[in-house]
Chain A
Amino acid sequence: MLRPFLLCHFPSEEIARSVARSTVLIKHIYKVNSVGGTEEDCVKNSKPFGQSGCTWKVIFDTFASKFPKSSQSTIMHKFIDLHKPPGQVLMKDPTLTMAIIHEYPVGISGAPLYPKHNHKGKPIPENINRPPLSVYFCSLFAQGGRDRVEKYTLKKRTYLGPTSMDNELSLIMCNAGLVKSNSYVFDPFVGTGSILFSASVLGGICVGTDIDTRVLKGKGEGGVMRNFEDSGLPLPEIVRADNSLHSRVFKGEEGFDAIVTDPPYGIRAGARKSGTTKERQKPIPDEHRHDHIPQTQIYPVGDVMADLLTVSARQLKVEGRLVYLIPSLKDFEETDLPTHPCLELEWVCYQPLGLLLGRRMVVMKKVREWKGEKEEEWKNQCWPNGKESADKVEKLREQMALAAAKEREEGEKQGWGAKKQKTKKQRKKEMRNEVEIKKFEDEDNDGNKP
């Protein structure tokens, strides 16, 4: 059971206001006047609100429950009749917005734990009159930073790709990386730039690299810079470079405040790095060197992560944050996550994406100075449970395909879906036959013309 409202104490109003401003997930902060286990208790505990000359309105708020307008009005009157603020009612932007909140619990997925109606809209009797967890009487204090989610939604962007990340998640990631005004932010797998876009919204100064020129340049939509230009955000610095060769391209110890990234795991886009696995390379003739397309090879997950942690340990400032996503099936535990002696695991958040699949957002903090001479030794400690951990992620695509095939097979066995598919297939075949027969006849006719 989870509670959708969180009761907390702030040392000052100023701190509460700055928390509200910097969050992505908080909707509002309310200042509590009274709390009660029941409505009667809450009314009993309540104190008068507002100064004379104020403008005010009252709203009813709840989560994971629904109340018809008529009962909302009844509830509101219980409070207002007792404490009518000394001022005029104003529905648009009053100085005082009072709120009465009925709190109900939600399940782990965020859905109501005790829905009042089932999915067909029929009332569930035992839930209709279920009492709330608590009732709050409060005033609206500050809005959270959720408006940014809507303002910069992916729908409004010109340049998107299959790997473009959801705006809300990338904002959360940047926030977890403590990105703020003038933070120096790096994304080594920048792709269409969606993470750096969010970093830029939060005021970051952004640098990104990617090996793939196609994704950076786009197909006429303007490429990675386009969305930044459209939204009037400062342009990011983009370098086409291979993260497996990062230390050869960048002189090092740049002191980034945050590295926020979604590494390529080969699920949406196959990971590649420079070089070739061919034993005998054809020499590149000098006259073609300038427009030769460099060869790439498969970039295994084990190396992707080892390189990411190495680059982070080297390029972050001490106290800087690395934030990344890693998808997995149920067999992957938190202890399977890659490690680095310079980086301390700070947060792990698990997001279920289905019954089997999920992903984690991992936040690491740089706690120790980088030592160049230890690079290889540290890199070898990347996977504490051995290579198997990386293999679990590597084989994700394969396993998901297997699971899907199995599901299909079982479905066919049970008969659903299979019948329909067969007739459709048959119909297609029949149609093809008909066309062919007709064609044949036509040709035959033509041939017989004198």
Chain B
Amino acid sequence: MRLLTHNTLQSPLTSSYPLRITATEIKYIKSSGLMPEEGEKDFVKNLMEKKKLEWSGVVGGWRDLKEIVERDLKGEVEGIEIPETQPRPNDPSYTKTLKSLHILLLEIHVITGTLVDSSNERVFKIEGGIPNMILLEDEIE
């Protein structure tokens, strides 16, 4: 699970957002597609400019991952800066933020850990990079 997906997930029980991440294993995979057209930065830019990115999710996700990223991905991932409010295209830090977002949303994978609903502490496990958002039968109605 990358922060790209975390950004779209909410608690299926309470709609609490964003889900709190505790990661015990993370991985950095440089994203280069089979048809690299220098494009993925545009993907992020497009997400941001079409207002498809929930900024509170980005801020929350980075807050939860910062410690383990700085510890386990030292040398691979450096210089990520996420401002508290979403920068506008004419802000001087805009390009730098885009660069950080590209790494954060597309290149850092949470392999093992949990997602937690902060309002009731319900835990959703992440195993093999796959978060399990299935509800138990008594949680559905």
Contacts and interface: CB of A to CB of B under 8 A. Distances in A.
Interface of A: 181-182, 184, 200-203, 205, 207, 211, 213, 216-217, 223-225, 232-235, 237-242, 245, 248-251, 253-255, 274-276, 281, 283-284, 289-290, 292, 294-295, 317
Contact of B132 (A181, A201, A240): A240
The residue in B13, B109, B136 that gathers the most chain A C-beta atoms within 10 A of its C-beta is B136
A237 B52 contact: no
Interface string B127-141: 011111111111010
Interface string B100-141: 000000100100000000000001000011111111111010
A167 to B, nearest CB: 14
Which 9 A-B residue pairs are closest in the complex by CB-CB distance? A248-B12, A203-B35, A241-B133, A295-B137, A237-B5, A182-B39, A240-B132, A276-B137, A255-B52
A180 B3 CA distance: 22
Contacts of B35: 181, 202-203
Question: B interface, how many residues as a size bin?
Answer: 35 or more
Contact of A201 (B34, B54, B136): B34
Contact of A251 (B17, B33, B106, B140): B17
Contacts of B40: 182, 205
B42 interface: yes
A187 to B, nearest CB: 14
B8 A250 contact: yes
A249 B130 contact: no
B94 interface: no
A242 B134 contact: yes
Interface string B43-78: 100010010101000000000000000000000000
23 contacts: A182-B43, A200-B33, A207-B5, A213-B132, A213-B134, A216-B130, A217-B130, A233-B33, A235-B29, A235-B129, A237-B1, A237-B4, A239-B131, A240-B130, A242-B134, A245-B140, A248-B10, A248-B135, A255-B47, A275-B140, A281-B138, A289-B136, A294-B135
B23 interface: no
Given A250-B8, A294-B137, A181 B37 contact: yes
A203 B31 CA distance: 11
A200 B129 CA distance: 18
B135 A254 contact: no
A238 B135 contact: no
Contacts of A248: 10, 12-13, 15, 135
A259 to B, nearest CB: 14
Given A205-B43, A239-B133, A249 B34 contact: no
